[in-house]
Structure formats: C-alpha cells, structure tokens
Structure 1
C-alpha cells in the first residue's frame, strides 16, 4: 500500500494505523492488485483541522478502481471510514462476481 500525505508530514503511528486497517481487506487479496491511501489535512472556515482520506483500491481482474472516502477531525476515524467504505465496495464486487447482485 502506498501512502501519500497532503499538507502535513506522516508518522510511524499513522502508517501503523493504516497497516492495521489494511488487514481488514486481506480476505479480498485475490481481487485486489494494489491500494493507495491519500491523507490530506485541511482547515475549516473556523480554523479547525479536518482530515480527508481516500483509499483507492485497484481491482486485479479488470483494473477498475474502487474508492473509499472518510472525513473527520480525528485522523484515525477518517482512515477507518475510508477503509469501511472500501470494504463495503469490495463486498459488493464479491456479490456481483457470484451472481447474487446485478
């Protein structure tokens, strides 16, 4: 998994959090070719910090990209939300592949 930080420097603890979240996607390893996590820091109109996270998951079969997004004042929650969304998208792809969802 590639990680890109936008607007701030990353840290070992953030990389550890991302790696821990990535474990959730291991059951889809046969379908996934690669992942790219982008974590951006922005400031709201009131000057508060907000993190915007996107997780691009490149599918091995057809090269399609599934995207998970998360936004929160907590970077850990934003990362978790992006992985939640990506996991839901992967579940849908599995159901489609099994002919259970069209």
Structure 2
C-alpha cells in the first residue's frame, strides 16, 4: 500500500519541487513499511532573529508514525537550502529505522539461539 506522508509549510507557501523531493526521499523509507505507516514533514522558513547574523534559512522536522500509531519525532535539520535539509531529515530517519530494525533482529536472534 505504501507509506503516507503529510507535508506542512510554515512561513512560506512551499513548492511542487519541494513536494517532489520529499516524495523521492520517502521512497527510501518504503523498506520499513512493516514498522512504519506514515511520516509528518514540516518545512519552516526561518526569519533571522538579529539582522546581520547568519542563520540557517530552513528548519525541517520529520516525525515517523509506526504501524502501532506511535509518534517518533526526529531531530530538526537546518540548512540554507530546503532540499538539503529534507535530505538530511530522511538520512536521519533511515539511519534510525535501520538501527532499530537491526537491533530488533539481533535481539530476536539472541532469543532464538538461547531457545536451541
């Protein structure tokens, strides 16, 4: 069936190019559809707090929703380029999911070895 994703833009209208990039990045998480049911992606245009001080222009937040409907928020990714921030958020998600799946498989293997 595939993973669902909601995208929210804060502080700017968004674009079809950003939606397309997010959709491409979501494909990377398809292999985790056994444990993951959806993602919530928020892309926020940041406004400088102080004039003249260089700050990242975009903040991207990705929350993962498990098949049991548990929400797992990931760390924020900031960058001047929203595409780079989106990619970084999905990199983090893929890493976290891969580690969790590997850890789960390892613990199941340990249990199986103890049973035999």
TM-score, L = length of structure 1:
0.87
User: Does structure 2 retain, via aligned residues, the 8 Å contact 1:69–1:81?
Assistant: no
Q: 1:89 aligned to 73, 88, 96, which one?
A: 96
Cα root mean square deviation, aligned: 1.8
Greater strand percent: which structure? 1
Structure 2 match to 1:37: 41
Look at both structures and tell me which one has the larger radius of gyration over its CA atoms. Answer: 2
Aligned length: 100
User: Does structure 2 retain, via aligned residues, the 8 Å contact 1:42–1:51?
Assistant: yes
SS in 2 for 1:43: coil
| 2:29 matches 1:22 | no
Residue segments in structure 1 that go unaligned for 5+ positions in a row: none
SS in 2 for 1:34: strand
TM-score, L = length of structure 2:
0.77
